[in-house]
Chains A and B, each alone.
Chain A
């Protein structure tokens, strides 16, 4: 923006007027100069509303020096490729006093953009004619960013809710296909629904940032009495690796299904059985892998099921698909062994 070295007589006179205000009106001028609200005065008698006064807040908002701004038309700030709609809004603001600000996109000296709400009021002389205009700017940058974040969060929330509802739909379908006894159906739906709900609680505790694997295991196993007395029958070995939300949800479901089967047919279906759950992070040429191993023993002798239940399908088919890994569910005679091998979450090896 070139400095105007030869100011017109009109510009000089207008600036001089503002100067005389400064001397006459003392505290009001100090207020205008020092307030954190960006403000300018423009000359109403010249075309283009040239700026005759700009306070420090305006200069720091726009990045210009005072001499770069004085004398320039009010509209010089509007983002390049001046939006006709914006120009029209500004004109309307100059013409009458609207009671709400107009939102205009402006360009700073360094080229960056910002949204501002502008409030323009006429300054009248003694005979009621418009001498100047007074414009204040409210920087809307933070507000716009918060609005955008808010919108994004609401869309994400909706997406998550839709996914949850689809999962519930799946749970209900399964329960209805497998059983006809209302009690059995209800129990099947509820146990899975509440497992899902608890996983959500675990994630909400940390704002859906993720969860620790150890915390997840403890929480998933809690309904199976692992906390009271069964603890010696359920042994955990592994670090509290950080898991992202999708992995948390998927593994939570897998642990629930494995535990449910253990209670019905496996190591928790008699007094003697126990389960060992251990995991490690291993480096491989393709990157770090998180390898979990669920091993049952001392339960009743295991026979492979003739028809795989929903839980087995979820573990053998849903889980590897969802986490892009491999799952092996082995119905060994002396106890079910399930091995899950997935890409390790970022930073897992440092835990």
Chain B
């Protein structure tokens, strides 16, 4: 859970003004429905398929996003192979680079 803290701190360093965290797929889907986000980070987790619902919802609303994972081998299903992935732990510079990429589109 400290991982959430460091991501928030990294984002604050990058000038991000507001960070909203969702712990479950349902929470995430509800948030995506009610709020406009500039970018998102989606943890793939064990159930890679489950977070695909979140990825789908983000893609449907054209919100740029990056996947994060603690697993080494990644079996991305179709349609998400071109999305950036951050492997945990990741250095600040990697996050900065990925987010710049996402937000410049």
Q: Which residues of A contact B (CB under 8 A)?
A: 155, 158-159, 162-163, 165-171, 173-174, 177, 250, 253, 310, 313-314, 317-319, 321-322, 324
- Chain B positions 1-43 with a Cβ under 8 Å from a chain A Cβ: 1-6, 8-9, 21, 23-24
Q: Judge whether A321 and B3 touch: CB under 8 Å.
A: no
**Residue total for B at the interface (Cβ-Cβ under 8 A):** 18
Question: Is A313 a contact partner of B5 (Cβ separation < 8 A)?
Answer: yes
For the complex, give the distance between the alpha carbons of A169 and B87 in Å. 13
B residues 38-79 near A (Cβ < 8 Å) are 70-73
A158 and B1 in contact (CB under 8 A), knowing A166-B6, A322-B23? Answer: no
Q: Considering the chains assembled together, what is the distance between the CA atoms of A318 and B2 in angstroms?
A: 6
Of the candidates B1, B6, B23, which one forms a contact with A169 in the assembled complex, judged by CB atoms under 8 Å apart? B6
Contact call A158/B9, Cβ cutoff below 8 A: no
A49 to B: closest C-beta gap in Å: 39
Q: In residues 69-93 of chain B, which contact A (Cβ within 8 Å)? A: 70-73, 87-89
Q: With A163-B88, A165-B89, A321-B23 known to touch, is A155 a contact of B1 (CB < 8 Å)?
A: no
Q: Which residue of B5, B23, B24, B73 is within 8 Å of A310 (Cβ)?
A: B5
Least CB distance, A266 to chain B, in whole angstroms:
21
With A166-B6, A173-B6 given, is the CB distance from A253 to B1 under 8 Å? yes
Contact between B23 and A167 (Cβ–Cβ < 8 Å)? no
**Which residues on A sit within 8 Å (CB–CB) of B6?**
166, 169-170, 173
| Contact present for B1 and A162 (CB under 8 Å) | no
Residues of A within 8 A of B88 (CB): 162-163, 165-166
In the assembled complex, the CB of B17 is this many whole angstroms from the nearest CB of chain A, namely 16
Selected contact of A317 from candidates B4, B70, B73, B89, CB within 8 Å: B4
Q: Report the minimum CB–CB distance from A142 to chain B (whole Å).
A: 25
Using A162-B88, A166-B89, A169-B89 as known contacts, say yes or no to A318 and B1 having CB atoms under 8 A apart: yes
By beta carbon, the residue of chain A nearest B72 is: A158
Q: Give 15 new A-B contacts, CB below 8 A, not counting A166-B2, A250-B1, A310-B5.
A: A158-B70, A159-B70, A159-B71, A162-B70, A162-B71, A166-B89, A167-B3, A168-B89, A170-B3, A170-B6, A253-B1, A317-B4, A318-B2, A321-B21, A324-B23
